[in-house]
Every structure is written in C-alpha cells, then in structure tokens.
Structure 1
Amino acid sequence: MNLKSLLAKPFASYIHKKIIKESHTALQDQEAIFKNLLKVGGNTVFGKDHHFENIHSHSDFTKAVPIRDYEQIKDYIALIKEGKHNVLWKGKPIYLAKTSGTTSGVKYIPITKDSIPNHIDTARNALLCYMAETGNHAFVKGKMIFLSGSPELERIADIPTGRLSGIVNHHIPKYLRTNQLPSYTTNCIDDWETKLDAIVGETINQDMTLISGIPPWMQMYFDRLVERSGKKISELFPNFSVMVQGGVNFEPYKAKLFESIGKQLDVIELYPASEGFLAFQDTQKAPGLLLNTNSGIFFEFVPAAEIFNEQPTRLTLKDVQLGENYALIINSNAGLWGYNIGDTVKFVSLNPYRIVVSGRIKHFISAFGEHVIGEEVESALLSASKQFGVSVTEFTVAPLIQQGNGKSYHEWLIEFETPPTDMQAFSLAVDTNLRAKNVYYDDLIGGNILQTLQIVPIRKQGFIDYMKHIGKLGGQNKVPRLSNDRQLADDLKTFLTASLP
C-alpha cells in the first residue's frame, strides 16, 4: 500500500461516518439551512424585492417566492454581469458557470464562496464512502480520468466564467494532480474528436484505475481504445476497478460498457449540475443516490403533474412519499431561489433519503394525453433487450400523429449494437412493457386510439454523426430520450437519409 492509499484509509472512514450521521439528521439540517438562507438572503437585492423580512415559515416563503427557471432570474444575473454586489447572495459570485439552455441560450449560473464546497466536496465524499465501504483504496495509486470542459476561463465583470467541469478542474486536490489525466493542454482542446484522440493517446499506455464521465462519452472513449489496440479495456487497464458516472441513466448503457471493458466493475453514480451537486451514491449495497441534505441547498418537491400549475403544491423533505414523481426545486447559498432544476426525481428510500432521477420535465410524450416519461421508456426497452439478447447503443422516442384515417403511434429511433432477430416481436415486447408502466398509454392502445409503437433502426454511428453535425458531440451533451414534438426525430431521419458532407 503506497502513501496515498495509506492516508486515504482513515480519512475515508472519518468522512463515511460523518455522511451516515448526517443522513439521520436530514430534516434538522434542512431546517437549519432554510433559516440561514433567509437570514443571509434578506440583505440581497432579491431578498428585499421579495420581502424576506416577513418570511417566518416555509408557507410564507412559497407565497413570497414563486417557482422560477432561468428566464425569471435573468434580470438578476444581468445585474451580476454588470458588476453589482449583493444581488442574489452576499458579495459577488466567485465564478459564473456557463451552461446551455434551450430557450435562454447560454445560461450563467452563479457559484459563490459559500457554494463552491458543495461542488468540490461532494464528489470527494462519494469516492471516500466507496473506499470505506469496499476497502478498495488501491485505485488512488494509478491514473484517473477527470474529464472536464476547457479549464480556460474568461472573465465577466471580473468574475471567472466557464463550464462547471472546467471550473472544478481548478479545485482538484494537489495530491491527485499527479494522477490526473488527461493533461491540462488536452482538456483545453475544443474540438471533441481531436480531444478524444488526444485522450486516447495520453492514456492507452497508462495504468488507468478510475475513469469518470457520462456513459455515452465513456463508450466513445472505449470504442476508440479498442479500435486502436484490438484489446478489451480490461486487457489494456488490468487495474481499472472504478467507473464514476452521472448525467444520464446508466442502465441503458451498462451492458455495452461492460462488454467493452470485458468484465464488470464497481460504478459510482453522481448527480451534479451547474446549479448544485444534488446527490451521490453513498453505498454499493442499496439503490438510489443519497440526497445532499447538508450542503447549502434547501430542497422543495412539486408533484410532477402540478409543475405547470400557477400555484403548485410545494413539499419539503418531511412530506415526500416513496415512488411519487416530483419536480426538483432548489434554494441555495449560490443565490438560487425557488429554482426549477428541470429534473424529476423519485424517492426509493426515506431513511435515509435516497432518490433516482426519473427524467426531465421537458422530456416527455403527452401528444395524446399519455404523459410518458424517461424512466418508463428506458425500463421498457431495457427489459425487452434482456429478454431478446439485444444491445442498444442509443435511442430517442417521439410521437407520430397520422393524418386522415391512420392511427398515430410512438416512433422509436434506435441504434442497435446487437439487433433483434425478430424486430416485430421485439417491438411488441417493448410496447407491452411500456403499457405495464403507464396506464394512460395502455388505455390508448387498448382503446384502439393509438397503434403499437414502431421502431426505426438507425445505422451504426448515426447518433454520433448527427450530434457532430449539430455541433453537440461529446462533453456533457446528451441525446434527449423523449420529445413531445417531431423536431429531433425528423431532423435525425432527414440527416441520416441525406448524403453526409
């Protein structure tokens, strides 16, 4: 055992015990955070605009501070970008995290001196909990990929500004710097495929022990390594033992990733966002991610069906129930108030509070009143894939509304790694699974209003080529699983039938 492994062992034990203790005081910690947020926030422009001095309870808060998304805080962000102090939180942000929005274009999310530990410490805590539980400390001896966006930062109102992963890159502890790959120079490469080739070149002959990233990126990386070496990943990296992932549901990618690796290994799932590090996997023995209840964020939960209501129900942690689909709302020491993250979550445990991410609020299909969500389509496809020995690379689903007398249906665009031998039987199995998951969809099929889903096979590398074509290949970019309109599906089909440039 080298010095890093030796030192990691007692620290991991200390942090693990601390996390367990805090998991049992979640309600008290949330109440304390709520009071502190109001106290500090009362002296800000936002707090004065919303009369924080008159807020004495969560009920008061919900009346004074409506749920909002980025569009509703843009005016406050504009003040910050003009150099104003005490706008959303005390002082000025120490960073602005740039992230892509749909209607807003580029979004600038404040990170403050008080909120930066939430981003840095949570990833560390997840690794330390893993070490303490499994006893695997050896991976800290080898090389580890901490993939990030460019760590080069611009300045707005003298505030360093860039992608969250690039910002966090500056806070990787010095004792891990010598283990970190890729190099700073490679992380600064903008073109994704050039960057990927550089990462492969830097890592192919290294003793890689931990690899982190979103599953689609890791699969591209593994494919490129296998293509160059002709070997399974476990042959290239025999000491590779931990995979850290987040950003999308891991299950649809799991089989192919492990097939590329050549063995199964431990996976640590994280739930980071520019707005805050929201949850992390604290154990390999139970499903779900531990909600980050003592890290400067006060959580609210809105029943998903009510999120677009003018005055939706806003629950605190003590009121949530198992299995219910909630829109996640945060209030934080970054200066976000009643902020709609855009994700839906479900609790799989209330002691401690563990969640799974069930989808995106904007990613659903309800063209016919079915309100199908991401969790349902992923589960339906995964079950059928296991039944038929099918491997899926990527997919997306959209409604197809027929004109005239034809019946409408859901169209599934799927890129298969291993396709089914009987596509019709496979399609019916996926459809049957989805009907079992969603009673409204089942009623529409059973009532002969919709016909069963239809699958359009997408050629190999089709999704990668499309994402490259629209300038969204790599990094944290993900293909939406669901759309309530035809834009993505039609654009993808048009691109794939056109001659490639």
Structure 2
Amino acid sequence: MKLKSFLAKPFASYVHKQIRRSSLTALQDQDGILKDLLKAGKATQFGADHKLSEVANYDGFKQAVPVRDYEGFKPYIEKIKDGKHNVLWKGKPIYLAKTSGTTSGVKYIPITKDSISNHINTARNALLTYMAETGNTAFADGKMIFLSGSPELERIAGIPTGRLSGIVNHHIPAYLRRNQLPSYETNCLEDWETKLDAIVGETIKQDMTLISGIPPWVQMYFDRLQEKSGKKVGDLFPNFSVLVHGGVAFEPYKAKLLQSIGRNVATIETFPASEGFFAFQDSQNAEGLLLNTASGIFFEFVPAAEVFNDNPTRLSLHDVKVGENYALIVNSNAGLWGYNIGDTVKFVSTNPYRIAVTGRIKHFISAFGEHVIAEEVEWSLLKAAAEEGLRITEFTVAPLIQQGEGKSYHEWLVEFEQEPANVEAFALKVDNNLRQKNIYYDDLIRGNILQPLKIKTVQKNGFVEYMKSIGKLGGQNKVPRLSNDRKLANELYKWTKQSSSV
C-alpha cells in the first residue's frame, strides 16, 4: 500500500463517522442554518429590502422572502457586477460562477468565502465515504481525471469569473495535484474536440484509477480512447475502479458506459451545481443521494405541481414526504434567498434524508395537460430497451401538434447504438410503459386526443453534431430530455434517418 492510500484510510473513517452523525441531526442543523443565514443576511441590501431583521422563524421568512428564479435575482447580481458590497452577502463574492441559462442567457452565481467549502468539501466527502464503506483506497495512488471547463478566469468588478468546474480546479488539494489529469494547459483549451484529443493523448498511457465527469462527455472520452487503442477502457486502464458522475441522470448512459469499460466499476453519483453542492451518494448499498444538510444551505421544497403558482406551498425538511415530486429551493451563505434552481427531486428516504433527482422544472411536456416529466420518459424508454437488449446513446422528446382529433402525438428522437428490428413495435412498448407511468397521458390516448408516440431515429453521433452546431459541445452542456416546443426537435431533423419515422 502506498502512502496516499494508507493515509486516506483513517481520514476517510473519521469523515464518514462525522457524516453519519450529521445525518441524524439534519432537522436541527437545518434550523440552525436558517438562523445563521438570517443573522448574516440582515446586514445586506437584500436583508434591508426584505426586512430580515424582523424575521423570527421559518413562517416569517416565507412571508418576507418570495421564491425567485434568476430573472428575479438579476437586479442584485447586476449590483454585484457593478462593484457594490454587501448586496446579497457580506462583502463581495470571491467568485462568480458563469453558467448558461435556458431563458436568462448567461447567469452569474455568487460564490463567497463562506460557501466555497460547500463545493470543495462535498466532492471530497463523496470519495471519502466511498473509501470508508468499501475499503478501496488504492485509487488514491493512481491518476485521476476530472473532465471540466477551463480554469482560466476573467474578472468582473475585480471578481474572478468562470465555469464552476474551472473555479473548483483551483482548489484541488496540493496532495492530489500530481495525480490530476489533464494538465492545466489542456484544461484551458476551449474547443471540445481539440481538448478531447489532447486529454486522450495525455491519459492513454497513464495508470488511470478514477474518472469523473458528465456521462455523455465521459462516453465521448471512452469512445475516443477505444478508437485510438483498440481496447476496452477497462483493459486499457486495469486499475480503473471508480467512476464519478453527475449533471444528468445516469441510467440512460449506464449500459453503454459499462459496455465501453468492459467490466463493472464502482460508480458515485453527485448533485453539484453553481448554486451549491446539494447531495452525494454516500453508500454503494442504499438508494439515493444524501442531502447536504449541514453545509451552509437551508433547503425548501415546493410541490412540483405548484411551482408556477403565485403563492406556492413551501416546505422545510420537517414536512417533506417520500415519493413526492418537489422543486428544490435554496437559501445559502453564497447569498441566495428563496432561489429556485430549476431542478426537481423526490425523497427516497427520510431516515436519513436521501433524494433522487427527477428532472428540470422547465423540461416537461404538457401540450395537452399530461405533464410528462423526465423521470417518466427515462423509465419508459429504458425499460423497453432492457427488454429488447438495446442500448440508448441519447434522446429527446417533443410534442407534435396537428389539426384534427387524435392526430397529435409525442415525437421521440432517439439515437440507438443498434436500432431495434422493428422501430414501430419498440415505440408501442415505450408508449405502453409511459401510459402505465402517467395516468394523464393514458387518459389522452384512451380518449383519442393523442395517438401513441412515434420514434424517429437519429444518426450515429447526431446529438454530438447538433451540440457542435450550436457551440455547446463538451463542458457542462446537456441535451434537454423534454421540450414543450419544437425548436430542438426540428433542428435535430438534420441528423435523423427519415425512413425511420413510424
């Protein structure tokens, strides 16, 4: 056993015990965090505007602070960008995380001296809890790759600004720097395909033991490795044992990723965002991700059906229920207050508090009142694919509205690794699964308001080519699973096999 893996064992055990103890005091920790946030927040401009000094409890907080998305927060962010102090949190942020929004264009999310540890320590804790539970510390001695954005940062009002993954890159502990790949120079490359080739060149002959990134871009890395070496990734890297993933649902990519590796490896799921590191997989033997209840974030939960209401129900951790779909609202020591991050979650356990990410608030189809969500379409497609022995590369779904009763339908654009023998029969299986999962969709089919879904197959690498065409290939960019309009679907037609429409 080498030095790093040897020293990791007692530290992992210590952190693991701390996290276990913290999971038992989640409600008290959340109450304490709200109290601390209010104490600090009353000295800010936001606090003055919302009279936080007069707020005594959670009910008062809900009256004082409305739920907002980025557009509602933008006036405060603009003041920070103009160089103002004490706007949302004391002083100025130490970073602005730059992220692409679907409706707001580029977003700038503050990261403060108080909140940076949430991003850094939670990533560390995910690995340490895995080490403590499994005893596998050997990967700490090998090379690790973190597929991330450029660590080069610009400055706005003197504040370093860039992608979250690039910001976090500056905080990787010194003892891991020698293990980290790719090089700083390669990480700074902006063009994804140039960067990918450079990453492959730097890693193909290394002893890679841990690989981390968003699943579709990890798959691209694996594909390129196989093209260059002619080997399965698991043969190329015999000591590769841990795959860390986050950003999108893993299940649609899991089969193909493991097939590219050629053997099983441990997987660790994480739930990071520019607004905070919210949850992580703390056990290989339990469902869901442990909510990060003691890391400077006070969580609220709005029933998903109410999220667009003027005055939605807002629940603290005290009142959540297993199986309900909630919009996630955060209040944090980064200076976010009543902030709707746009993701939906459901609790799979309340002892401890573990969640599953179910989709994006704006990524659903309800052209006819069906309100089909990402979790439902993923389950429906993957169940049918598993029965047929098929692997899905990527997919998206949009409504196709046509005049006349029973003529409209959901159109699924799917890139298969290998197409089903009968696309129409496969589409019917998926449709039956979706009807089983969503009673409103089932009613529309039964009532002849909609006809069963149709699948249009996308050419190999069609989604990659689409993302390249809009300048969003690589990094943290993701393909939306669901849309209420035809913009994405119509663009993807350029890469479909026209004969496959059923």
Bucket of the pairwise TM-score, normalised by the shorter protein: over 0.9
Tell me what 1:100 maps to: 100
- Report how far residue 242 of structure 1 moved: 0.2
Query: Would you say 1:392 and 2:406 are equivalent positions?
Result: no
TM-score (norm 2): 0.98
- Whether the aligned pair in 2 keeps the contact of 1:389 and 1:420 (CA below 8 Å) is no
Tell me what 1:217 maps to: 217
For 1:450 and 1:75, how far apart are their aligned partners in 2?
Answer: 43
Tell me what 1:327 maps to: 327
For 1:347 and 1:269, how far apart are their aligned partners in 2?
Answer: 16
Tell me what 1:287 maps to: 287
Measured on the aligned residues, the alpha-carbon RMSD in Å equals 1.0
For 2:494 and 2:153, how far apart are their aligned partners in 1?
Answer: 37
For 2:292 and 2:459, how far apart are their aligned partners in 1?
Answer: 41
For 2:234 and 2:295, how far apart are their aligned partners in 1?
Answer: 36
Tell me what 2:240 maps to: 240
**Partner-residue secondary structure (3-state), 1:301:** strand
Letter of the 2:370 counterpart: E
Q: Superposed, which structure 2 residues align to 1:373-388 within 5 Å?
A: 373-388=373-388
- Whether the aligned pair in 1 keeps the contact of 2:458 and 2:497 (CA below 8 Å) is no
**Partner-residue secondary structure (3-state), 1:245:** strand
TM-score (norm 1): 0.98
Q: How many residues align?
A: 498
Tell me what 1:11 maps to: 11
- Whether the aligned pair in 2 keeps the contact of 1:80 and 1:92 (CA below 8 Å) is yes
For 1:139 and 1:92, how far apart are their aligned partners in 2?
Answer: 38
Letter of the 1:182 counterpart: P
Tell me what 1:227 maps to: 227
Letter of the 2:429 counterpart: A
Q: How has the CA–CA distance of structure 1 residues 181 and 302 changed in structure 2, closer, same or farther, with 3 Å as cutoff? A: same
- Report how far residue 497 of structure 1 moved: 7.9
- Whether the aligned pair in 2 keeps the contact of 1:2 and 1:141 (CA below 8 Å) is yes
For 1:307 and 1:391, how far apart are their aligned partners in 2?
Answer: 34
Deviations 1:282-332 (A, max 9, x none): 000011000000000000000000000000000000100010000000000
- Whether the aligned pair in 1 keeps the contact of 2:406 and 2:450 (CA below 8 Å) is no
Report the more deviating stretch, 461-470 or 421-430: 421-430
Q: Superposed, which structure 2 residues align to 1:164-179 within 5 Å?
A: 164-179=164-179
Report the more deviating stretch, 329-338 or 414-423: 414-423
**Partner-residue secondary structure (3-state), 1:283:** coil
- Whether the aligned pair in 1 keeps the contact of 2:147 and 2:218 (CA below 8 Å) is no
- Report how far residue 264 of structure 1 moved: 1.0
- Report how far residue 405 of structure 1 moved: 5.1
- Report how far residue 423 of structure 1 moved: 1.6
| Identity within the alignment, % | 74
**Partner-residue secondary structure (3-state), 1:418:** coil
- Report how far residue 147 of structure 1 moved: 1.9
Report the more deviating stretch, 345-354 or 444-453: 444-453
Tell me what 2:162 maps to: 162
**Partner-residue secondary structure (3-state), 2:417:** strand
Query: Would you say 1:474 and 2:474 are equivalent positions?
Result: yes
Letter of the 1:297 counterpart: I
Tell me what 1:275 maps to: 275
Q: Superposed, which structure 2 residues align to 1:122-137 within 5 Å?
A: 122-137=122-137
**Partner-residue secondary structure (3-state), 2:73:** helix
- Report how far residue 103 of structure 1 moved: 2.2
- Whether the aligned pair in 1 keeps the contact of 2:459 and 2:497 (CA below 8 Å) is no
Tell me what 2:339 maps to: 339
Q: Superposed, which structure 2 residues align to 1:27-426 within 5 Å?
A: 27-404=27-404, 407-426=407-426
For 1:479 and 1:321, how far apart are their aligned partners in 2?
Answer: 30
- Whether the aligned pair in 2 keeps the contact of 1:301 and 1:326 (CA below 8 Å) is yes
Deviations 1:462-482 (A, max 9, x none): 110111011011111111000
- Report how far residue 277 of structure 1 moved: 0.3
For 2:413 and 2:84, how far apart are their aligned partners in 1?
Answer: 48
Letter of the 1:18 counterpart: Q
Q: How has the CA–CA distance of structure 1 residues 429 and 451 changed in structure 2, closer, same or farther, with 3 Å as cutoff? A: same
Letter of the 1:32 counterpart: G
- Whether the aligned pair in 1 keeps the contact of 2:363 and 2:480 (CA below 8 Å) is yes
- Report how far residue 419 of structure 1 moved: 1.5
Which runs of 5 or more structure 2 residues have no equivalent in the other structure?
Answer: none
For 2:5 and 2:196, how far apart are their aligned partners in 1?
Answer: 30
**Partner-residue secondary structure (3-state), 1:220:** helix
Structure 1 consecutive aligned stretches of length 4 or more whose deviation exceeds 4 Å? 495-498
Tell me what 2:439 maps to: 439
For 2:349 and 2:496, how far apart are their aligned partners in 1?
Answer: 43
Deviations 1:12-52 (A, max 9, x none): 00000000000000000000000000000000000000001
- Whether the aligned pair in 1 keeps the contact of 2:459 and 2:495 (CA below 8 Å) is no
For 2:359 and 2:303, how far apart are their aligned partners in 1?
Answer: 13
For 2:102 and 2:257, how far apart are their aligned partners in 1?
Answer: 30
Q: How has the CA–CA distance of structure 1 residues 283 and 171 changed in structure 2, closer, same or farther, with 3 Å as cutoff? A: same
Deviations 1:107-159 (A, max 9, x none): 11000000000000000000000000000000011000012211111111111
- Report how far residue 447 of structure 1 moved: 1.2
- Report how far residue 202 of structure 1 moved: 0.2
- Whether the aligned pair in 1 keeps the contact of 2:456 and 2:496 (CA below 8 Å) is no
Which runs of 5 or more structure 1 residues have no equivalent in the other structure?
Answer: none
For 2:104 and 2:218, how far apart are their aligned partners in 1?
Answer: 29
Deviations 1:340-396 (A, max 9, x none): 000000000000000000010000000010000000000000100000111110000
Letter of the 2:465 counterpart: D
**Partner-residue secondary structure (3-state), 2:56:** coil
- Whether the aligned pair in 1 keeps the contact of 2:405 and 2:448 (CA below 8 Å) is no
